Amino acid sequence: MNKFPDISIIILAAGASTRFGSPKQLAKIGRERLLESVCKTAVSTGITTIVVLGANAKVIIDICQLEEAEVVINRDWEMGMSSSIKAGIEKALEIDQETNAVLLILGDQPRVTDEAMLRLIQRHSETGKPIAASGYADTVGTPAIFRKDVFEELLALSGEGGAKMVIEKYRPDGLTIVQTPEAEFDIDTMEDLNGL
């Protein structure tokens, strides 16, 4: 049962993994693939989970076990992360027009726990601010939750910038920062994977 029926988690995993050298979504972490691990964590929150794929979508779908999530293929993935954010929000609203917030997380943040996601959602709910974002290593970023009244700005983004510009725009009064040190670690290279 969905604990937060008006929220969707969107996992952004459409990139080509050029620095990694192969589809990092398929990299093995123990017995699981990287994307499976992030997806399983999101699904375990009990919240509707959407996975946005793009580059290598067919092979990722064939290999990864993503059955518990809604999968959307971003055919415009080469236009940058902003196009994946748009595809994810559109899917969330297609699933439920009453969606009041989305939590964005990258598909290469395997250390982020379900507790961290739920803590972010809880703080967002408590403060009533439009955005709650993770704080780590002197920056703010994903995972981050955005209220519905911010969707229009997210949908208007273009290129690789992602949601960072929107997060910064709402600082300080419209932004809640939730310390999430585990969000600092993401996997961009084989060395990052070996450091896990």
pLDDT band at 114; cut points 50, 70, 90: very high
CB-CB contact of 74 with 14 (8 Å): yes
pLDDT of residue 22: 60
* Cα–Cα distance measured from residue 34 to residue 39, given in angstroms and rounded to the nearest whole number: 9
Note the pLDDT tens digit of each residue in 137-172. Answer: 889 999 999 999 999 999 999 988 789 999 999 999
Residue 98 to residues 135, 176, 189: CA-CA distances in angstroms? 28, 23, 38
Structure tokens at 38: 């992030």
Note the pLDDT tens digit of each residue in 97-109. Answer: 999 999 999 998 9
The domains found in the chain, sorted by start residue, are: 7-194 (3.90.550.10)
Please state the separation of Cα 117 from the chain's center in Å. Answer: 10
pLDDT band at 28; cut points 50, 70, 90: confident
